[in-house]
A and B are shown apart, each in its own frame.
Chain A
Amino acid sequence: MVGSHEAGAETFNPLIDTAVAQLLGRQAGGFQSASYTPGQPTPAGPPAICFVGVENKSAEAIGDFKDQIYQQIDTRIVQSGTFRAVSRRFVDAGLQQTRLRPDSLFVPANMRTFVESLEQMGQPFDYLLYATITSGTTEANQNYQRDYLLTLELVNIHNGQYDKESATVRKGYHRSALGAVKSYNPFKN
């Protein structure tokens, strides 16, 4: 379980903040928002991001921590000021209405269906954001170490441009007291 040994919300949250800030920072310049058509005046308001969800592909169930990661990312989008986030309730309603799986939204036809569904709810958007948690495990004697990689994938639904950002969290598991002592590092956060 994330948070049981070395990495928890305290470690995860700053990494999420950094990853979201870097990803959005790169997209912030030179973007025309959802309802823009050439020759028409640029609509007011920041471009909108539809954050579909967090998929856990790691070796462990992370339980309620997944929803916390979702909320953390969503909050950072809202607080960025340069982007607007589509409320999760609309995202859930869109998925329910279309019966599309989040992992199938990147198929062009599915994306169009989903965009139309949210537009009908008065929630047009410009970007789809998808987060994935993966893990990699290495073992040494009685201890093992697991790296968690949080990857944020952002797709511009108008032109298909794609960007991504990752953050890594390392967890060390010590099955013996000696292992914990050997791995102790007072300067590690």
Chain B
Amino acid sequence: MVSTCPRWFVCLGVSAMLLVAAAGCAIQIGQVGDARELYYRGQAELAVEQLDKLLPRAGKDADVICLDLATAQLFAGYPQRAEQRLREVRDRFDYLEQKDLTEAALSYVLDDNQRAYAGEDYEKVLIRVMLALANLMGDGGDAEAYSLQVTAKQRQIIETGASPGEENPKAAYQRVAVGAYLHGVLREATHGNYDDAERAFATVVSWQPGFSAGGFDLERVRQGRHSAPGNGVLYLFAFVGRGPYKREASEVPTSAAMLIADRILSTIGKHSLPPTLAPIKVPQVVRSENQVDRVLVSLGGQPAGTTDTVTDVGQLAVQQYQAIYPHVLGRAVARRAVKKAAVYAVKEQIDGLSGWGSLALDVAGVVWEATESADTRCWTLLPDTIQVLRLELPAGEHTLGLRPCRGQIPVGGESRFTVGIEDGRNCYALACFPDAKMAGQVLVSGR
């Protein structure tokens, strides 16, 4: 007779170790959360310092910390450093699109946190948007290339969303219009490529119909001109609100269905299966509650306009995630099935397994299932919306003010900055209002 004790004891031991590992992750997440709070409170520079310290021991969280670090660096006034970091993560995410069989197997034995984080689809696209904006705040030489990559990446993600003959869940993805918008803006600024600008703005209008300024842009590049002689154009981009994030959720109906199924199989089978007592945990993308939804812009103390949403990051993240959610849930159910099958296989291998032995293995199985945690890694410093305001201004120096608002009601103080407008040229400014307080500083191109 084979002794059963060491086997299930080992199972329990492994389970206990996994619980300890999960607790260790929570400490790390807490520290990252502190850095994010600093950013939300307007202290982008301190957030950079804290994230920089965390990065060397981030392990498989390194890329998401890198993304948050790049965002903080950008608004702390270091666009070149931010661009460098973003380029690295973009390339790594592209590399991780290929499958790693070892990681995939490990994710079925433990959970999805064992995989290197390859980014959600919306993050892969928005990295390129951030690259374009970071580059615009530097020399701007690569901004057009990045803007083209935004649209190209979306196309690639959707085209490769399913095998031939299968229904493609990504075909319904809401698109990121800000890439096309940037392309249109840059092409119009050449004064010689109004046809490209028209095509780009037409794309923006079709992808983000609520963006009211898009219609004016389209009309201008069809019939008009970049600006009147003696004038230049300021594009103010604003990151408004706290962006979407992932949280762990229990799939109660699926867990209940699985419990019934494993009870049925336990009744009719040779051995019992571990009952699905621990709920199946899945990540869910949710929008943040925001107190800011636009930015009021003033020029020389007079209202000059409010920013308008060109890309609703929160909405598209939730919509894109819902499109692939059945696959996320399917993987979680498959993981449970693999674990139950493993326990069943162990029972099959043990001759003369006693009732207590079987119970011990079931308990070990339940513990094993309970150690799972949903993969909630994500780029948390994304904004809720990317907004823009175009202002045609006479050439020369201008002082502008930015005030975060909810509806028409200001919710924070005014932040002032100065821009130099050149005749016939574009100038770009970028600000971030995750809350009532601006994160970091207003960035202006060419400085």
- Indicate whether B206 reaches chain A with its CB closer than 8 angstroms: no
Given contacts A61-B199, A64-B145, A64-B148, contact A97 B424 (CB under 8 A): yes
CA distance A7 to B195 in the complex (A): 22
Give chain A interface residues in 112-144, CB to chain B under 8 Å. Answer: none
The reply to whether B228 and A99 form a contact with Cβ atoms under 8 Å apart is: yes
- Indicate whether A103 reaches chain B with its CB closer than 8 angstroms: yes
- Indicate whether A82 reaches chain B with its CB closer than 8 angstroms: no
The count of residues in chain B whose C-beta lies closer than 8 Å to any C-beta of chain A is: 20
Cβ distance A77 to chain B, nearest Cβ, rounded Å:
17
A57: chain B residues within 8 A (beta carbon) = 195
The reply to whether B229 and A99 form a contact with Cβ atoms under 8 Å apart is: yes
Among A53, A55, A97, A99, max chain B CB count under 10 A is at: A99
- Indicate whether B225 reaches chain A with its CB closer than 8 angstroms: yes
A61: chain B residues within 8 A (beta carbon) = 151, 196, 199-200
Cβ distance A150 to chain B, nearest Cβ, rounded Å:
14
Cβ distance A151 to chain B, nearest Cβ, rounded Å:
14
The reply to whether A66 and B196 form a contact with Cβ atoms under 8 Å apart is: yes
CA distance A61 to B194 in the complex (A): 13
24 A-B Cβ contacts within 8 A? A52-B192, A53-B193, A55-B195, A56-B199, A61-B151, A61-B196, A63-B148, A63-B152, A66-B193, A92-B190, A92-B192, A95-B190, A95-B192, A96-B226, A96-B425, A97-B424, A99-B191, A99-B225, A99-B226, A99-B229, A100-B225, A101-B194, A102-B192, A103-B194
- Indicate whether A91 reaches chain B with its CB closer than 8 angstroms: yes
CA distance A95 to B190 in the complex (A): 8
B192: chain A residues within 8 A (beta carbon) = 52-53, 91-92, 95, 102
Across the two chains, which residue of chain B brings its CB closest to A63?
Answer: B148
Among B193, B199, B200, max chain A CB count under 10 A is at: B193
Across the two chains, which residue of chain B brings its CB closest to A175?
Answer: B164
CA distance A181 to B194 in the complex (A): 40
CB-CB contacts of A51-69 with B at 8 A, as 1s and 0s? Answer: 0110111000101101000
- Indicate whether B227 reaches chain A with its CB closer than 8 angstroms: yes
Cβ distance B135 to chain A, nearest Cβ, rounded Å:
15
Besides A100-B225, A102-B192, 15 other A-B contacts (C-beta < 8 A): A56-B195, A61-B200, A63-B152, A66-B193, A91-B192, A95-B191, A95-B192, A96-B226, A96-B425, A99-B191, A99-B227, A99-B229, A99-B424, A101-B194, A103-B194
Question: Could you say which of A64, A96, A101 contacts B424, with CB atoms under 8 Å apart?
Answer: A96
Residues of A within 8 A of B (CB): 52-53, 55-57, 61, 63-64, 66, 91-92, 95-97, 99-103
Cβ distance A21 to chain B, nearest Cβ, rounded Å:
24
The reply to whether B191 and A96 form a contact with Cβ atoms under 8 Å apart is: yes
A55: chain B residues within 8 A (beta carbon) = 195
Cβ distance A153 to chain B, nearest Cβ, rounded Å:
15
Cβ distance B158 to chain A, nearest Cβ, rounded Å:
14
CA distance A95 to B398 in the complex (A): 25
A91: chain B residues within 8 A (beta carbon) = 192
Cβ distance A107 to chain B, nearest Cβ, rounded Å:
14
Across the two chains, which residue of chain B brings its CB closest to A104?
Answer: B225
Across the two chains, which residue of chain B brings its CB closest to A56?
Answer: B195
CA distance A70 to B200 in the complex (A): 19
CA distance A96 to B425 in the complex (A): 8
CA distance A57 to B199 in the complex (A): 10
Cβ distance B346 to chain A, nearest Cβ, rounded Å:
46
B229: chain A residues within 8 A (beta carbon) = 97, 99
CA distance A53 to B226 in the complex (A): 17
The reply to whether B191 and A92 form a contact with Cβ atoms under 8 Å apart is: yes
Cβ distance B248 to chain A, nearest Cβ, rounded Å:
40
CA distance A66 to B151 in the complex (A): 16
Across the two chains, which residue of chain A brings its CB closest to B228?
Answer: A99
Question: Could you say which of A56, A95, A99 contacts B196, with CB atoms under 8 Å apart?
Answer: A56
A53: chain B residues within 8 A (beta carbon) = 192-193
The reply to whether A102 and B194 form a contact with Cβ atoms under 8 Å apart is: yes
Cβ distance B192 to chain A, nearest Cβ, rounded Å:
5
CB-CB contacts of B133-177 with A at 8 A, as 1s and 0s? Answer: 000000000000100100110000000000000000000000000
* 9 nearest A-B residue pairs (beta carbon): A95-B191, A96-B424, A53-B192, A99-B225, A96-B191, A55-B195, A95-B192, A63-B148, A102-B192
CB-CB contacts of B223-260 with A at 8 A, as 1s and 0s? Answer: 00111110000000000000000000000000000000
CB-CB contacts of B212-231 with A at 8 A, as 1s and 0s? Answer: 00000000000001111100
Cβ distance A100 to chain B, nearest Cβ, rounded Å:
8
B151: chain A residues within 8 A (beta carbon) = 61
Among B145, B192, B193, B226, max chain A CB count under 10 A is at: B192
CA distance A56 to B193 in the complex (A): 9
Across the two chains, which residue of chain B brings its CB closest to A103?
Answer: B194
Among A52, A66, A101, A102, max chain B CB count under 10 A is at: A101
A52: chain B residues within 8 A (beta carbon) = 192
B152: chain A residues within 8 A (beta carbon) = 63
CA distance A64 to B195 in the complex (A): 14
Across the two chains, which residue of chain B brings its CB closest to A132?
Answer: B195
A92: chain B residues within 8 A (beta carbon) = 190-192
B194: chain A residues within 8 A (beta carbon) = 101-103
CA distance A95 to B423 in the complex (A): 12
Cβ distance A38 to chain B, nearest Cβ, rounded Å:
34
B148: chain A residues within 8 A (beta carbon) = 63-64
CA distance A63 to B151 in the complex (A): 10
Across the two chains, which residue of chain A brings its CB closest to B230?
Answer: A99
Cβ distance A96 to chain B, nearest Cβ, rounded Å:
4
Among A52, A91, A102, A103, max chain B CB count under 10 A is at: A102
CA distance A103 to B214 in the complex (A): 22
CA distance A66 to B199 in the complex (A): 13
